Amino acid sequence: MFLDPHVHMTSRTTDDYQAMQQAGIVAVIEPAFWLGQPRTSVGSFRDYFSNLVGWERFRAAQFGIRHYCTIGLNSKEANNEPLAEQVMELLPRFATKEGVVAIGEIGYDDMTHAEDHYFRQQLQLARELEMLVLVHTPHRNKKQGTSRSMDVCLEHGLDPIRVIIDHNNEETVRETLERGFWAAFTIYPKTKMGSARMVEILRQYGPQRIIVDSSADWGVSDPLAVPKTARLMLERGIPKEHIRAVCYGNALLAYGQSGQLRADDWLNPAPIDLRQLLNGNSVLRGQEPSAVIV
């Protein structure tokens, strides 16, 4: 079994869900993020958050996968301050919905004053709601941005064990682990962190508090990155118990602290009925259940 704790399924197809289920992925976590084009009104955020806690949760279940999400204002769009103020008013309402496991993904993009301001506000919200935090570390100035992100989390009194630092690489992993945070790694086909590099990180640091995810989205990415990386780890001699930890168990431990994510959700699943409707809609799109049943 695999758990992909960072994948943007709103951007993916039903074929992806079917392939993921067949590859052994039993649950996913979908962080709120940037859609590739700036949103221009608070209503678009409201509809997006509603989709994460509603339709996407339903759609995943219809293909045998449990869906959870995180809710937050992403760092890139935090720079539109008038809109960000309105989004901040929405967050408490959605953060407390069923299936929401953390505030995230939040943090820095260009490390601007606005990004810092709304990062801190959301950390404070997480404290008030007693929620976990998922941190997006910047793709530029990675080492500096990761260090600063952890500094700010500690300044706000957050326990590192309740904070997942994502998009780590070879430059950031040691500090992240030494400071007691969860270290998550985004496996991309050609950028961020590749499967072969991930094998060597696991060989060097061991499995404690390390999490593997795909971050598959609307760009060139792979929703099967977690099982593919696990297969490469096995081929290269990584112990099975270490693979299980970084590709399943650690994500369950980390996000299980939310009280929203439990192994029983997929170990004892409810029967799948593809004829079910949500707001009058079915994944069947007029087809017979036998044509697409999992």
* Interatomic CA distance for residues 187 and 229, integer angstroms: 8
Tell me, yes or no, whether 294 lies in a domain.
no
Q: Which of 57-71, 184-198, 224-238 has the lowest mean pLDDT?
A: 184-198
CA Rg value for the chain: 18
pLDDT of residue 291: 43
Average pLDDT over the chain, rounded to an integer: 93
pLDDT of residue 294: 45
Domain carrying residue 69: 2-271
Whether the predicted pLDDT of 122 surpasses 90 = yes
Tell me, yes or no, whether 293 lies in a domain.
no
What's the full length of the chain, in residues? 294
The strand ranges marked E within the chain are 2-4, 25-31, 66-71, 100-107, 132-136, 163-166, 182-186, 210-213
Q: pLDDT by residue (tens digit) across 203-248?
A: 999 999 999 999 999 988 999 999 999 999 999 999 999 999 999 9
Whether the predicted pLDDT of 290 surpasses 60 = no
Tell me, yes or no, whether 88 lies in a domain.
yes
- Identify the sign of the CA torsion 74, 80, 81, 85: negative
Q: What is Dmax (Cα atoms) for the chain?
A: 55
pLDDT of residue 164: 98
Interval 135-163 mean pLDDT = 96
Match 């192994």 to its residue by tokens: 263
Tell me, yes or no, whether 281 lies in a domain.
no
Its pTM surpasses 0.75: yes
Tell me, yes or no, whether 178 lies in a domain.
yes
Q: Based on the structure, what is the number of domains in the chain?
A: 1
**Residue 239 dihedral angles phi and psi, to the nearest 5°:** -60, 145
* Interatomic CA distance for residues 89 and 275, integer angstroms: 36
Residue 163, domain CATH = 3.20.20.140
- Which helix (H) or strand (E) element contains residue 128? helix 113-129
Tell me, yes or no, whether 115 lies in a domain.
yes
pLDDT band with cut points at 50, 70 and 90 for residue 292: very low
Q: pLDDT by residue (tens digit) across 10-52?
A: 999 999 999 999 999 999 999 999 988 999 999 999 999 999 9
Residue 232 CB coordination number (10 Å): 17
Q: pLDDT by residue (tens digit) across 90-100?
A: 999 999 999 99
Q: pLDDT by residue (tens digit) across 243-285?
A: 999 999 999 999 999 999 999 999 988 777 777 777 767 776 6
The strand ranges marked E within 137-272 are 163-166, 182-186, 210-213
- Which helix (H) or strand (E) element contains residue 22? helix 14-22
CA geometry: angle 249, 256, 277, nearest 5 deg = 105
Is 81 in contact with 114 (CB distance < 8 Å)?
yes
Inter-axis angle of helices 81-95 and 42-53, to 10 degrees? Answer: 30
Whether the predicted pLDDT of 139 surpasses 90 = no
Show Cβ contacts of residue 53 under 8 Å, excluding neighbours closer than 6 positions: 69, 71, 94, 97, 98, 99, 100
* Interatomic CA distance for residues 95 and 21, integer angstroms: 27
pLDDT of residue 289: 63
Residue 216 CB coordination number (10 Å): 27
Whether the predicted pLDDT of 288 surpasses 80 = no
Tell me, yes or no, whether 157 lies in a domain.
yes
Tell me, yes or no, whether 284 lies in a domain.
no
Query: Residue 125, class by beta-carbon neighbours within 10 Å (0-12 exposed, 13-18 middle, 19+ buried)?
Result: buried
Q: Cα dist. 114→32, 72, 83, 89, 152 in Å?
A: 18, 15, 12, 16, 14
